[in-house]
Amino acid sequence: MPRGDHAAYLTGDWGAARRQPTMGPMTDATERPTKRVLLAAPRGYCAGVDRAVVTVEKALELYGPPVYVRKEIVHNKHVVTTLEKRGAIFVEETDEVPEGATVIFSAHGVAPVVHEEAKALNLKTIDATCPLVTKVHREAVRFASDDFDILLIGHEGHEEVVGTSGEAPEHITLVDGPDDVANVTVRDPDKVVWLSQTTLSVDETMETVRRLRDRFPSLQDPPSDDICYATQNRQLAVKQMAPDCDLMIVVGSRNSSNSVRLVEVAIEHGSKAGHLVDYADEIDETWLDGVTTVGVTSGASVPELLVRDVLTYLAERGYADVAPVVAAEESLLFSLPNEIRRDLKARGLSDKMRHDAAFEEAGSLH
């Protein structure tokens, strides 16, 4: 496990951090640092979130403010507040958007009825739904057309679940975790398939599937994993770190399903404590009492600058030694929505996506 220091991460010199000496086995207490941070990788923005945030930024650049966004573009307080300051207006329902205006649909997806509402109001729509969520929508349509009962594993009321359910409401039954399995009824136990929300706990979802299969042995699996790569990778990093952590700090908002799951996964896999914070100043200093090793990670809708602030907070309190825990490498990028790409090209502007750079100027969402 490569070691580095806080300064290397703040300057963005990841190479310097990884060129530090490698830690050996941690069996001798004299060899391990008094205080240290285990920093998860990957963490923060996934490809779908980056695409959605850039979509709003590009829309503001193209059309000028205000640009309306139905629901929070992603579930992160800092991202939403920053975009509001730039001229985005977030609304709960389509009928709150003035007739003829531009509206962006969030990364979590919407039901077909929302598209119909927008058309009735003559709205210019830009669909920033994550392509991996769109995949689940298409699976729901496909299995419904074949007259399957679809058991959708997810959290009741979550925007992604509402959107997916809206594709085939007469065929979809929500299963909200393992304890909900006993309540499920189907028309034909030989014609049942399960799908899932993309941001769930992998372990809990597999337990839900196991119980469903006990009841319905012919249960079919989705054609490919519905839980997205980023959710799985961030949970994998936490699983690797958790046994060595006295405390896990997850940067993310409380309405972010994948961020909340990271805290749960940390505690389930051995971290002595875990907390979710939007900002470094939400950390309670008493959490650090008697703590040697702090794990740090962030949800898939969190810009890296918020993690940087947490590392600074910890360094100021003696946790300057930072060791990355690399569970996977990510390079996936999604292209911008077609509506944005078309208008950008018409104005001679770049339609290229960009990575969430590790350490940029304060206030940047990338």
Where in the chain are the domains?
4-46+229-326, 48-129+335-360, 132-215
How far, rounded to the nearest angstrom, does the alpha carbon of residue 346 sit from its chain's CA centroid? 32
pLDDT digits (tens, 9 = 90+) for 148-187: 999 999 999 999 999 999 999 999 999 999 999 999 999 9
The single-letter code of the amino acid at 299 is: G
Identify the pLDDT of residue 3.
Answer: 54
Class of domain 132-215: alpha beta
Identify the pLDDT of residue 365.
Answer: 86
- Quote the CA–CA distance of 115 and 348 in Å, as a whole number: 29
How many alpha carbons fall within 13 Å on the CB side of residue 360? Answer: 10
- pTM for this entry: 0.89
Identify the pLDDT of residue 16.
Answer: 41
Nearest partner of 137 among 187, 171, 104, 179, judged by Cα = 171
- Quote the CA–CA distance of 26 and 24 in Å, as a whole number: 6
- Quote the CA–CA distance of 241 and 17 in Å, as a whole number: 18
Identify the pLDDT of residue 53.
Answer: 97
> DSSP E strands: which ranges in the chain?
4-5, 36-41, 67-70, 88-91, 102-105, 124-127, 149-153, 172-175, 192-196, 247-251, 274-277, 293-298, 321-326
Quote the mean pLDDT of the chain: 91
Active site residues: 160
Low-confidence ranges of the chain (pLDDT < 70): 1-33, 354-364
* CATH label, 48-129+335-360, candidates 3.40.640.10, 3.40.50.11270, 3.40.50.720, 3.40.50.970: 3.40.50.11270
Contacts of 34 (CB under 8 A, 6+ apart): 292, 318
User: Does the fold of domain 132-215 match that of domain 48-129+335-360?
Assistant: no
> DSSP E strands: which ranges in 179-307?
192-196, 247-251, 274-277, 293-298
The CATH number of 4-46+229-326 is 3.40.1010.20
